Structure 1
């Protein structure tokens, strides 16, 4: 997940500005508050044995977290 308005093509273009880092932090904290762990730089690994309920939980958490990011900017 990247909160940038430019194409991310390599590690240099993925370097976050101060605003992007703040949005990433808000997103990650919102995810954690909903019981989902993602790396601080936006990486998340999914597992094959996930249930439909697991997937729905992640989608709901992502939706809520994105709404929280939008309300902070």
Structure 2
């Protein structure tokens, strides 16, 4: 739970620059974006991922998927 992992998060629609983490210390790396969806990754622990999900939800983004990539 406290391990730093990479999370792949996809939200509905195109996410603009202002929609990305605002004042959050998390750095989002956009993998793919188009009018239908935006896919990005973040490196954080589970608490950070939950905080970002709450942030996105509060701004009206619809979550399509959240995947924790396996650690090697």
Query: Greater share of strand residues, 1 or 2?
Result: 2
Q: TM-score of the superposition, structure 2-length normalised?
A: 0.42
- Which structure would you say has the larger RCO, counting Cα contacts within 8 Å and 6 or more residues apart? 2
Query: Greater share of helix residues, 1 or 2?
Result: 1
Q: Which has the larger radius of gyration?
A: 1
